[in-house]
Structure 1
């Protein structure tokens, strides 16, 4: 069973990855680099980070 503290720590870790992935995407947008391999990887990373965070949040409900 996950304690409240364990939940907070894991949720924070996942949220930090989501924030970093989103920041990387925004950097590419600012540089007008919204095509190509770097963009595709950034989109994949951000999507995966979001899915992992939401999935973890929904495990407890």
Structure 2
């Protein structure tokens, strides 16, 4: 694979992870469960997924 293909693949993997974490948060919002340990864990996972994606993008610059 070329470095562009590698970048696309890794970026896509990280975006899928971020999308899944965000979707989980949205499900909790729809269920009006925006407090407590379940919510805090969902926020933490979404934040970490976002940070991994941004970190990956920034290391490519």
**TM-score under structure 2 length normalisation:** 0.95
Q: Secondary structure at the match of 1:43?
A: helix
Whole-Å separation in 1 of the counterparts to 2:60 and 2:13: 16
Structure 1 gap segments, 5+ residues each: none
So what's the TM-score if we normalise by structure 1?
A: 0.95
Return 5+ residue gaps in structure 2 as ranges. none
User: How many residues matched?
Assistant: 60
RMSD: 1.0
